[in-house]
């Protein structure tokens, strides 16, 4: 029931933020579409912990500003690499071992690596990630330790943390 209310609140906020029409007729249509959406969610069986991830909201609020700053920093490195007269790139493939336990944390970690310019997750198998990087020096396993730790803290439930 709490998850249902959580999803209802999310789609309510989404509708209110996107429509801009607050006449009774439009609000009636909104109510009908809420009911249909919730029914479809129930049929898809996604009204669960992952469907309404409010527990992890504070973890993510702490994680994303840090990730944005990381993205800005590595953007600068890649911009310099693009514009340098002599290409000095040094591509490499590395295998990483993550401490993230749940699928959600692993996806967050892999997505963060891909979002950061200069590194792309090629493959995930179990708790091992194959990462392609533009500079070998920036792609050592130690470089990802902090991101890994922060992802685990943001997305893994407390009882599963290593």
Partner 1 sequence: MAEFFALLGNTWDVVRFPLGGAACLLGAILCIIGTIGVLRFPDFYTRVHAASITDTSGAGLVLLGMALMAPHWIIVVKVFCIIGFLLLTCATSSHALVNAAHTAGLQPKIGPMARSGHEEDEEDEH
Q: Determine the Cα–Cα distance for residues 93 and 2; give it in Å rounded to an integer.
A: 44
Whether the CA torsion 71, 77, 83, 88 is positive or negative: it is: negative
Nearer to partner 1, 132 or 149 (CB): 132
Q: What are phi and psi of 63, to 5 degrees?
A: -80, -45
Closest CB to partner 1 among residues 44, 83: 83
Q: Specify the residue, 41 or 67, whose C-beta has the smaller distance to partner 1.
A: 67
Residues of this chain that interact with partner 1 (CB under 8 A) are 14, 17-20, 71-72, 75, 78-79, 81-83, 85-93, 110-112, 114-123, 130, 132, 134
Using the minimum distance from each CB to partner 1, give the nearer residue, 78 or 99: 78
Residue with Cβ nearer partner 1 (41 or 108): 108
Residue 155 burial (CB < 10 Å; 0-12/13-18/19+)? buried
Q: What's the Cα-to-Cα distance from 64 to each of 31, 52, 58, 143, rounded to whole Å?
A: 32, 18, 10, 18
Please, what is the minimum distance in Å from the beta carbon of residue 130 to partner 1?
8
As measured in angstroms, the least distance from the Cβ of 17 to partner 1 is 4
Question: Closest separation between CB of residue 153 and partner 1, Å?
Answer: 20
The CB-of-83 to partner 1 minimum distance in angstroms stands at 6
End-to-end CA distance of the chain: 31
Least distance (Å) from partner 1 to the CB of residue 126? 16
CA separation for the pair 138, 154 (Å, rounded): 23
């Amino acid at each position: 029931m709490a998850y249902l209310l959580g999803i209802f609140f999310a789609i309510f906020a989404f509708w209110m933020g996107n429509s801009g029409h607050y006449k009774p007729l439009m609000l009636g249509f909104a109510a009908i579409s809420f009911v249909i959406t919730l029914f479809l969610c129930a049929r898809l069986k996604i009204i669960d912990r992952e469907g309404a991830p409010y527990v992890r909201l504070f973890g993510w609020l702490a994680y994303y500003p840090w990730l944005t700053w990381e993205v800005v920093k590595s953007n600068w490195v890649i911009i310099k690499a693009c514009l340098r007269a002599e290409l000095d790139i040094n591509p490499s493939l590395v295998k990483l071992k993550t401490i993230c336990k749940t699928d959600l944390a692993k996806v967050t970690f892999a997505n963060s690596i891909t979002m950061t310019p200069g590194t792309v997750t090629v493959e995930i198998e179990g708790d091992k990630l194959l990462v392609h990087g533009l500079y070998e020096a920036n792609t050592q396993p130690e470089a990802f330790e902090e991101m890994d730790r922060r992802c685990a803290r943001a997305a893994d439930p407390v009882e599963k943390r290593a």
